[in-house]
Amino acid sequence: MSDKQILRDEARNRRRAFVAGLDPLAHRLAFKVLPSPLADRIGARDTIALYVAMDDEAPAQRLAHALIARGKTVALPRALDRLGSMEFCRWTPEDALVSGPFGTSHPAPGSQIVAPDAIIAPLLAFDLAMGRLGQGGGYYDRAFARHPDSLRIGIAWSVQQLAHVPMDPWDLPLDAVLTETSFIEGAQA
């Protein structure tokens, strides 16, 4: 088993234990409000990609109403294949979702494809150098590369912060990370 895979397993276990011990009210309220530093950082960016959380992931989709209230277009990813390719589709909380690979939920076929100006991505772990450890499928690494001008924001529970996340040459650092307790910014672009 690789070092990254061991780290992924440890991060999943730590996240699972944290969420299991979280007060139910605190969980329901987490990530429902768009914090001012994040609102400032996305500023004039029009299309913001979120994701629908699985299991104990930080629930990014809860930010949809706040973003729409600010005039933003919200998008969700749709996996195209099991090789790590995905596209982003316009979405509102009223739109139906369909089942995708790996237990994900996606916009229905025929949804309008959009190019995100900011991508809010799930992760297993992050560090203060804005390194991101994902699930290992490469979907977000490829999306970041396909949309190089998009702001890259991770969303996570605070327990997912590590001292160091190993980065491969193809890994792009995040610009910022939002947790239930803070907004952590990397170097301003």
- Residue 10, domain CATH: 3.40.50.10420
Q: How many CB atoms lie within 10 A of CB 13?
A: 10
The overall average pLDDT reported for the chain is 92
Residue 42 phi/psi, 5° resolution?
A: -80, -20
Q: Is the pLDDT of residue 16 over 90?
A: yes
Q: How far apart are CA 20 and CA 15, in angstroms?
A: 8
* Least confidently predicted of 12-21, 122-131, 149-158, 164-173: 164-173
Q: Residue range 59-64: average pLDDT?
A: 96
Q: Is the pLDDT of residue 189 over 50?
A: no
Q: Counting every residue, how long is the chain?
A: 189
Structure tokens at 109: 């076929």
Number of domains in the chain: 1
Nearest Cα to 77, choosing from 43, 104, 117, 40?
104
Q: Residue range 18-27: average pLDDT?
A: 95
Determine what percent of the chain falls in helix, strand and coil, rounding each to the nearest 5.
30, 25, 50
* Least confidently predicted of 11-15, 22-26, 166-170: 166-170
Q: Residue range 79-104: average pLDDT?
A: 86
86 lies in which domain range?
Answer: 3-185
